Chains A and B, each alone.
Chain A
């Protein structure tokens, strides 16, 4: 069965130097079980192929039903140096919500 991440979670993203942070929050406990199990470093790294050029770190915040991902080497040099239209990675949480998960 395929689940659209956008149907079970929301999130927010921003910049930390040349890294982007992408926080993903499940709407309920069942949703958190799914993202905790299926939203792995490997899946996120593969999803952001061509966007995230470095490694991906993953942290869990179960009290908030949330995961936090750090995508390194992603913003074209970071905030003030980057030539990207989205230099601060503000739209990357929405980009991750495009993912479909096979469960």
Chain B
């Protein structure tokens, strides 16, 4: 058994810093590279792509990225784990094998995790008594049944561990929890018992610290952000894990950013609810149990982590079509910038109303004034305001109403208040709104499957 492993975070979301995973494997030693690509909305986008082309439906950046990483990971024996397989891990694995062959690497094993996609048999599941009611509102799935675009179960670390045990160098999954990507290598390397829920919580919470990339190493840091050095080459987090359940959060020394009690604590607090009940497929982790010890020099020990037993459910995330929306903006300058922007809003609303168009919501925000903090914003006297960017947004079930809204922004320039600019990029086009439906499903009804491609 290894006496420690180093797990590096390479991406915090699909669209994150492209160079980061390459730096993680080249600027120092690591054993694993984990990359989270999936947000709620991503699954529905990928499902749409797969509907059009059965060879798509995964994070398309991956093959290109892997062609850069593979020569390094192969040489240094670094394993890669990602949930970027989206709704088509098979196609993703095939694409990676293809780029590997092109660069002369013919002996890699890719483990893929399948079984999270329950869209094909969702009707069967519902009619056999799985209500899949909304776990936040309690509403019946019937409300959205004919509008569902994707339906995926969140798997945890277990199937990834299985893939590693079968010898995978790369593991590509569909909808897996972000935290499971980091927990899995700890279980595999240290042979942790799946029923030791304190250890499951260690890997889960370390995964939470890694899952948003540089958000734990000085990125988006609301503390003393000016103290963060070398943002341009910021180091992503590394979890140095030990068999006894201690983890040191760190980063490569020659990269930028900072790892301290404060930077790690901010990420621990990110997007959590009740800290004592962070529920995953692997355990219920207690974030309030976490103790941090800052050694200085970008090393923070996380210890004494507690967890408790798993529930009998997996979380299911369904996405469904929920109408159309569009946003457009204009900029008004001094003098009377705010009054002009408010007048433009009044004119636009009157015109939309006169046309008899229907919206479930119209929202107007004055960016530069109070779009972020609303009534808490300190408003300067209008005379001092140099410019206001007014942002109009609408939402409607009626495509035509949203489409026409997009054609009513530019006319304000020549038919409304003066000193106006900033209309670029053409008419705002209606975008499909994809809403999200969280539910629970009994674990015994879903079977993760692991296949090895080579």
Asked if A35 is at the interface of the complex by the 8 Å CB criterion, the answer is no
Look across to chain B and name the residue whose beta carbon is closest to the beta carbon of A6.
Answer: B222
Interface of B is mostly: mixed
Contacts of A3 in B (CB 8 A): none
Look across to chain B and name the residue whose beta carbon is closest to the beta carbon of A67.
Answer: B269
Contacts of A16 in B (CB 8 A): 271, 273
Query: Shortest Cβ distance from A89 into chain B, in angstroms?
Result: 10
Q: Is the CB of A68 within 8 A of B365?
A: no
Contacts of A48 in B (CB 8 A): 376
Which among A27, A48, A61 has the greatest number of chain B C-beta atoms within 10 A? Answer: A61
Asked if B71 is at the interface of the complex by the 8 Å CB criterion, the answer is no
Residues of A in contact with B, size category: 35 or more
Asked if B262 is at the interface of the complex by the 8 Å CB criterion, the answer is yes
CA distance A79 to B322 in the complex (A): 13
Given contacts A17-B438, A84-B363, contact A94 B373 (CB under 8 A): yes
Q: Is the CB of A76 within 8 A of B363?
A: yes
Query: Shortest Cβ distance from A1 into chain B, in angstroms?
Result: 22
The one of A50, A61, A85 that contacts B371, using a Cβ cutoff of 8 Å: A85
Interface of A is mostly: mixed
The one of A12, A65, A68, A83 that contacts B327, using a Cβ cutoff of 8 Å: A83
A interface, CB within 8 angstroms of B: 10-12, 14-17, 21, 23-25, 27, 47-51, 57, 59-66, 68, 70, 76, 78-81, 83-86, 91, 93-95, 97-98
* Total A-B contacts with CB atoms under 8 angstroms apart: 132
CA distance A60 to B275 in the complex (A): 8
Look across to chain B and name the residue whose beta carbon is closest to the beta carbon of A62.
Answer: B288
Q: Is the CB of A21 within 8 A of B41?
A: no
Q: Is the CB of B395 within 8 A of A14?
A: no
Given contacts A17-B438, A23-B270, contact A63 B371 (CB under 8 A): no
Contacts of B221 in A (CB 8 A): 10
Asked if B374 is at the interface of the complex by the 8 Å CB criterion, the answer is yes
Look across to chain A and name the residue whose beta carbon is closest to the beta carbon of B276.
Answer: A59
Asked if B346 is at the interface of the complex by the 8 Å CB criterion, the answer is no
Given contacts A10-B222, A27-B262, A95-B376, contact A21 B273 (CB under 8 A): yes
Given contacts A61-B287, A64-B292, A94-B222, contact A12 B270 (CB under 8 A): yes
Query: Shortest Cβ distance from A81 into chain B, in angstroms?
Result: 5
Look across to chain A and name the residue whose beta carbon is closest to the beta carbon of B223.
Answer: A10
Query: Shortest Cβ distance from A100 into chain B, in angstroms?
Result: 12
The one of B222, B262, B372, B395 that contacts A85, using a Cβ cutoff of 8 Å: B372
The one of B223, B262, B275, B291 that contacts A68, using a Cβ cutoff of 8 Å: B275
Asked if B433 is at the interface of the complex by the 8 Å CB criterion, the answer is yes
CA distance A82 to B164 in the complex (A): 40
Name 22 interchain pairs, CB-CB below 8 A, sorted by A: A12-B266, A16-B271, A25-B265, A25-B266, A51-B376, A57-B273, A59-B288, A61-B290, A62-B288, A63-B290, A63-B291, A64-B288, A68-B275, A76-B361, A78-B436, A80-B40, A80-B433, A83-B327, A83-B393, A85-B391, A91-B372, A95-B376
Query: Shortest Cβ distance from B133 into chain A, in angstroms?
Result: 15
B interface, CB within 8 angstroms of A: 40-41, 136, 215, 220-224, 262, 265-276, 287-292, 322, 325, 327, 361, 363, 365, 367, 371-376, 391, 393-395, 433-436, 438
CA distance A100 to B185 in the complex (A): 45
Q: Is the CB of A61 within 8 A of B292?
A: no
Look across to chain B and name the residue whose beta carbon is closest to the beta carbon of A88.
Answer: B271
CA distance A3 to B444 in the complex (A): 54
Look across to chain A and name the residue whose beta carbon is closest to the beta carbon of B438.
Answer: A17
CA distance A60 to B289 in the complex (A): 11
Contacts of B327 in A (CB 8 A): 83
Q: Is the CB of A68 within 8 A of B436?
A: no
The one of B224, B269, B367, B434 that contacts A64, using a Cβ cutoff of 8 Å: B269
Contacts of A83 in B (CB 8 A): 325, 327, 361, 363, 393-395
Contacts of A21 in B (CB 8 A): 269-273
Given contacts A25-B265, A95-B373, contact A81 B271 (CB under 8 A): no
Q: Is the CB of B436 within 8 A of A12?
A: no
Given contacts A25-B262, A80-B435, A93-B222, contact A64 B273 (CB under 8 A): no
Contacts of B363 in A (CB 8 A): 76, 83-84
Q: Is the CB of B222 within 8 A of A95?
A: no
Q: Is the CB of B290 within 8 A of A64?
A: yes
Look across to chain B and name the residue whose beta carbon is closest to the beta carbon of A61.
Answer: B288
The one of B266, B276, B291, B436 that contacts A23, using a Cβ cutoff of 8 Å: B266
Contacts of B371 in A (CB 8 A): 84-86
The one of B41, B215, B266, B393 that contacts A79, using a Cβ cutoff of 8 Å: B41
Contacts of B393 in A (CB 8 A): 83
CA distance A25 to B220 in the complex (A): 15
Given contacts A25-B266, A63-B289, A66-B265, contact A15 B271 (CB under 8 A): yes
Query: Shortest Cβ distance from B277 into chain A, in angstroms?
Result: 10
Contacts of B325 in A (CB 8 A): 83
Look across to chain B and name the residue whose beta carbon is closest to the beta carbon of A51.
Answer: B374
The one of A17, A49, A66, A78 that contacts B375, using a Cβ cutoff of 8 Å: A49
